[in-house]
Amino acid sequence: MAWTGSADAPPTARIVALAPSLHQGERRVAEAVAADLGATVERTAQEVADAVGVGRATVVRTAQTLGYDGYPQLRVAVARELALQTSSGDLAADGTMLGTLRAASDRFAARLGHTLSGLTEEALQEFIASLDDAARVLVVANGLSSPLGLDLLLRLNAAGRPAELLNDPLAQRIAARQLGSGSVCLVLSGSGANDETLSVMSAAQQSGSELLAITSFARSPVAHLADTVLIVPPVNDSFRDELVHTSRAALMLVTEALVDALLTRRGERGRDARAAVLQVLGASIRE
């Protein structure tokens, strides 16, 4: 028996209602989900399967029995239930909005070292070299990562590294399929699990293009597909926070620093590009 009730019903309510009718393996998965919602948000389907002692297919089937298209959708629903249990918009202890902003800023500053801990010199060198040497660069960013894509595009072009960005997912796939060897598909994805972005990556892979990615989670589909990946953990370091707060501050910091590294690698070409930009900026400012 599958869930036929309200689409707004939280996962725990569905589990309670359906538990008696679930098969043994599905019941074990459902009970594990209900027992620790926080762990469910952080785990992949395979990790849940391993923890419970069932096959991955059983985890997916349980999610579908509960009324979701698959485990990713159950994961998001659990995150939503947790978010409703604890308000994410409370003011700081001093009761002011300014105090809340200061607290968020302090939290980000305290975790900067952690945010950069996933990067390695080797990965950075490979990433920058591929970006510099590519005949063509297609920047891909969808959903809440879209503003990052536009920012990176502007910075790359200002650095003398021409790049392209398309907003329509279908146009992205068409362009990616035509990239070919010697080109780069540069993907920005906080969650690392955006369906549209993954489709573009597959198209680029079929074309023979190199895949570069910047994402927040090492065990994500985007990280798995990429040839070279830079892992930038989110400020709060959890998939739940990625779903609820969707902060891109850490990713923005790294992308800006990457362009500076690219300018340094390009040497005289980088200095010429920066000089040209400054000339344009100087001519556009009025007193």
For the chain, give the mean pLDDT: 86
Distance (Å, whole) CA 50 – CA 72: 17
Q: Are 176 and 189 in contact (CB under 8 A)?
A: no
Hey, which residues does 141 pair with through a beta bridge? 188
pLDDT at 233 exceeding the cut of 80: no
Q: pTM value?
A: 0.70
pLDDT range class, residue 88, cuts 50, 70, 90:
very low
Q: Which of 20-29, 45-54, 63-72 has the lowest mean pLDDT?
A: 20-29
pLDDT at 214 exceeding the cut of 90: yes
Residue 240, pLDDT score? 53
Name residue, tokens 């990562």: 145
Q: What percent of the chain has pLDDT over 70?
A: 90
Q: What percent of the chain has pLDDT over 90?
A: 50
Around Cβ 101, how many Cβ atoms within 10 Å?
A: 11
Write out the two tokens for 255: 């992308």
Q: What domains lie within the chain, and their CATH numbers?
A: 11-85 (1.10.10.10), 107-284 (3.40.50.10490)
Residue 86, pLDDT score? 57
Residue 244, pLDDT score? 53
Distance (Å, whole) CA 180 – CA 178: 6
> Which three-class secondary structure state does DSSP give residue 33?
helix
HSE, side-chain direction, 13 A CA sphere, residue 43: 22
Name residue, tokens 């300018």: 263
Task: Go through 200-217 and write b for each residue having 16 or more CB atoms within 10 A of its CB, e for each that does not.
Answer: bbebbbebebbbbbbbbb
Q: Are 206 and 225 in contact (CB under 8 A)?
A: no
Q: Which of 74-83, 156-165, 177-186 has the lowest mean pLDDT?
A: 74-83
Residue 283, pLDDT score? 82
Residue type at 105 in one-letter notation: S
Q: Where are the beta strands (DSSP E) in 163-249?
A: 164-165, 183-189, 210-215, 228-231
